[in-house]
């Protein structure tokens, strides 16, 4: 396991702030309030451990089979439905949405190989990630990758806690299935839009892993 680069500044700041809080607690609070000191130590330790867990990047054997759409993130499948994709394709698509809790790994991987033909960042609200309107109203970032067989749109969506989406993909980039393309900080969701008729391999409430779970075949 390694720590993601997006977390290094946050973890460094937490070390400084938590160290100061613990120093002030131990140096200014008298022995009659020692339980409060223990509480501060326990709380800051818990928060720091949770941050390390959030920014972890586990060592995994990632799949790269042809004609396979891999999950772009860890999480639970919360939507599988035919819907109108209004941003790029402007036609009917199969939407597969994956919700990430704060306990999930939060980097995102390309679901297919191909060329990046579209990217767009949208500022927005911070509704809970499972809200039906979150894909249209929340802060989000859309990427489209196309190869000679399929075009897939995938959208990072901020949740109620998330406040920053990072997308590394740029138009013209060569995307390799299961390589990293982005990161969402603190709770979120990813929507994947596939051509109608694509064979879906997952079910509602199924737990998937980025770069390992085949959510569809084409």
Would residue 45 show up in a list of annotated catalytic residues for this protein? no
In this structure, how many other beta carbons lie within 10 angstroms of the beta carbon of residue 218? 16
Burial class (CB in 10 A: 0-12, 13-18, 19+), 59: exposed
Calculate the CA 117 to chain-centre distance: 21
Hey, which residues does 153 pair with through a beta bridge? 144, 193
In this structure, how many other beta carbons lie within 10 angstroms of the beta carbon of residue 71? 28
> What is the Cβ-side half-sphere exposure of residue 48, based on CA atoms within 13 angstroms?
17
Cα-Cα-Cα-Cα dihedral of 15, 16, 22, 23, to 10°? 140
Catalytic residue among 135, 178, 188, 213: 188
Tell me which residue of 27, 21, 10, 24 sits closest to 166, measured CA to CA: 10
Q: How far is CA 121 from CA 60, 102, 115, 137, 141, in A?
A: 29, 22, 18, 12, 4
Helical axes 34-54 vs 8-28, angle rounded to 10°: 170
Q: Which residues are catalytic?
A: 188
């Amino acid at each position: 396991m390694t720590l993601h680069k997006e977390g290094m500044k946050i973890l460094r700041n937490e070390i400084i702030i938590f160290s100061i809080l613990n120093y002030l607690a131990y140096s200014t609070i008298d022995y009659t309030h020692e339980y409060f000191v223990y509480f501060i130590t326990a709380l800051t330790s818990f928060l720091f451990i949770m941050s390390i867990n959030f920014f972890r990047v586990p060592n995994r054997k990632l799949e790269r089979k042809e004609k396979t759409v891999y999950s772009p993130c860890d999480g639970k499948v919360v939507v599988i439905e035919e819907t109108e994709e209004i941003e790029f394709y402007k036609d009917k698509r199969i939407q597969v949405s994956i919700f990430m809790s704060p306990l999930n790994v939060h980097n995102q991987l390309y679901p297919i190989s191909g060329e990046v033909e579209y990217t767009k960042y949208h500022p927005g609200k911070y509704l809970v990630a499972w809200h039906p309107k979150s894909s249209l109203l929340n802060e989000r970032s859309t990427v489209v990758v196309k190869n000679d067989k399929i075009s897939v749109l995938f959208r990072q969506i901020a949740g109620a806690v998330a406040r920053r989406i990072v997308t590394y993909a740029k138009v013209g980039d060569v995307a390799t299935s299961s390589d990293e393309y982005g990161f969402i900080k603190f709770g979120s969701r990813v929507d994947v839009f596939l051509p109608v008729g694509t064979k879906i391999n997952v079910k509602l409430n199924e737990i998937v892993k980025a770069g390992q779970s085949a959510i569809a075949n084409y």
